[in-house]
Structure formats: C-alpha cells, structure tokens
C-alpha cells in the first residue's frame, strides 16, 4: 500500500513548482502507463491495483520497476483523474531532445498556449503527423501537467518538446520559412506553396504576440464557411498539419 507520506508527496506533484524542484512527475491511467512501460523511458515507481498487476505481469517484470500495490481510492487521491482503477507511475523528467528545424520538415511553435487540454491534443497531433518537434514559449503550460499528459495519450514520450525564449529560437533559424496562423492571413486552400519550416500557433484568445509576429514570413488562415466564431487551436493545428502532409 502507499503510505500517507507518499500520498502527500505524490499529490504535491500536481503543482508545477514541486515538479520542477523534484524533477519528476506522475502519469495516470491504464493506457498511458502501459505505453510508458513499453517504452525505454526511465521510471521510478509503479502504483497499481491487483487488476493491473495481474493483467500486465510480464510487461512489469520486463521493465523491472518497483511496484507498490494499492487501490483505486489512493490512485484517485494522488492524481487528477476522478476514476483510476488501474495504475499511476512516477518518473523523472524526460531528457530534452534537440530539435533541428529545416526547410524540408515542420516544427510547431506554441506562443503562450495556456489550456492543458489544447497542448496535450497538439502533442498528439504532432505525433500523428510526424512533425519535427514542438518549441514552446516559456509561458506555455507545463508539459508535465497531468491534463497535458492525459490529452497527449502518451505522445509526449515520442515528440521532442523544448521550452525557450521564442525570439532566440527565430534568431537561430533565420533562413527557415515561418508560417503564422493569423486571421488576416492568406487562405490556406488558395496557397500554392508548401507549409514547410515553422508553424506558429498563438494564444487561445490573444493570438500570436507582437514580439514574435515580425518573424512571420507567411501569414495563413483557415477560411470560415459556417457561423462558428472561432476554431479550437488544437483543431486548427491538425488542419494545418494535414495540409502540410498533403503537399509533401
């Protein structure tokens, strides 16, 4: 079973400040835990019900991870999931992978994305379409936020994600085309040029900040045919990525 002190500690990892200090995070739920166990990621401890342990006994043995059998009440107490009848896993921050942006690939840049669900969805989209990686502004929501991890459906294990001042990123990549999702941009479906290089997606309500908008070489937009006021940033990212792949 998980001790009271351990529960308190694990629960504290829901706070970004504590995660940063401890350099570790908690991932929750059957699917995501299974994918982590199947990966080469380093893990610290597995907290699981007898149902999960019996179902994935061979996988757990292969990973050679320390297992603490517990119940769903404790699992729900330490995490954000309202129902977790299977497992949670404690692991250190992933090694940061270098993103090498080129004119023949696509790198997504996120400018102050705040909604955890949106960010997790974008990570999953990036994994699906095989983008080079995601560069996040320093004020973008933390990738190790539980809701980000859940929405990514374990894609965070495969997509390189870095945080850095965006001005520095663009100054280091001056020779690469930069596409910005802007309301006054060119109609995506009228554009003949391929979307290669960098795609900037801006804040959910404010869009792309003025500080980095002057780095944009091509403004693009998804035309509206109905009456909806706006598109979710995750959905918009998927449309742009699909357009990119269609024109490869």
Would you say domain 106-246 falls under CATH 3.40.50.2020?
A: no
- Flag whether pLDDT at 17 surpasses 70: yes
**What percent of the chain lies above the pLDDT cut of 90?**
93
- Flag whether pLDDT at 193 surpasses 80: no
Give the model's pLDDT for residue 95: 94
Give the model's pLDDT for residue 22: 98
pLDDT tens string 195-243: 899 999 999 999 999 999 999 999 999 999 999 988 999 999 999 999 9
- Flag whether pLDDT at 192 surpasses 70: no
**Residue 170 confidence class, pLDDT cut points 50, 70, 90:** very high
Give the model's pLDDT for residue 239: 96
Q: For the domain made up of 4-92, give the CATH fold.
A: 60s Ribosomal Protein L30; Chain: A; (3.30.1330)
Mean pLDDT in the chain? 95
DSSP code per residue over the chain = ---HHHHHHHHHTTSHHHHHHHTEEEEESHHHHHHHHHSS----EEEE-HHHHHHTHHHHHHHT-EEEE--HHHHHHHSS-S--SSEEEEEEPPPPPP----TTSEEEEESS---HHHHHHHHHHHHHHT-SEEEE-TTSPPTTSHHHHHHHTTGGGTS-EEE--HHHHHHHTTTS-EEEEEEEEEETTT--S---EEEEE-BTTTBS-HHHHTT-SEEEEPPP-SS-S---HHHHHHHHHHHHHHT-
Give the model's pLDDT for residue 235: 97
- Flag whether pLDDT at 32 surpasses 80: yes
pTM, two decimals, is 0.95
pLDDT tens string 127-148: 999 999 999 999 999 999 999 9
Domain boundaries, the chain: 4-92, 106-246
Give the model's pLDDT for residue 194: 79
Give the model's pLDDT for residue 191: 66
- Flag whether pLDDT at 53 surpasses 90: yes
pLDDT, average across residues 117-131: 98
């Amino acid at each position: 079973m998980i001790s009271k002190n351990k529960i308190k500690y694990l629960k504290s990892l829901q706070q970004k400040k504590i995660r940063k200090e401890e350099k570790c995070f908690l991932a929750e739920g059957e699917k995501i835990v299974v994918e982590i166990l199947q990966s080469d990621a380093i893990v610290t401890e597995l907290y699981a019900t007898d149902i999960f342990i019996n179902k994935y006994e061979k996988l757990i043995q292969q990973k050679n991870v320390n297992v603490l059998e517990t119940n769903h009440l404790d699992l729900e107490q330490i995490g954000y999931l309202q129902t977790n009848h299977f497992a949670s896993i404690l692991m250190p921050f992933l090694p940061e992978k270098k993103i090498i942006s080129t004119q023949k690939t696509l790198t997504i840049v996120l400018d102050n994305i705040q909604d955890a669900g949106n960010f997790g969805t974008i990570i999953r989209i990036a994994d699906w379409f095989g983008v080079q990686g995601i560069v996040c502004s320093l004020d973008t929501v933390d990738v190790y936020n539980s809701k980000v991890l859940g929405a990514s459906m374990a894609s965070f294990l495969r997509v390189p994600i870095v945080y850095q001042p965006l001005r520095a990123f663009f100054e280091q990549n001056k020779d690469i085309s930069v596409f910005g999702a802007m309301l006054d941009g060119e109609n995506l479906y009228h554009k003949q040029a391929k979307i290669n290089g960098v795609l900037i997606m801006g804040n959910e309500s404010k869009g792309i900040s003025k500080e980095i908008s002057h780095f944009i070489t091509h403004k693009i937009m998804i035309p509206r045919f109905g009456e909806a006021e706006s598109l979710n940033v995750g959905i918009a990212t998927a449309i742009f990525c699909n357009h990119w792949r269609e024109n490869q």
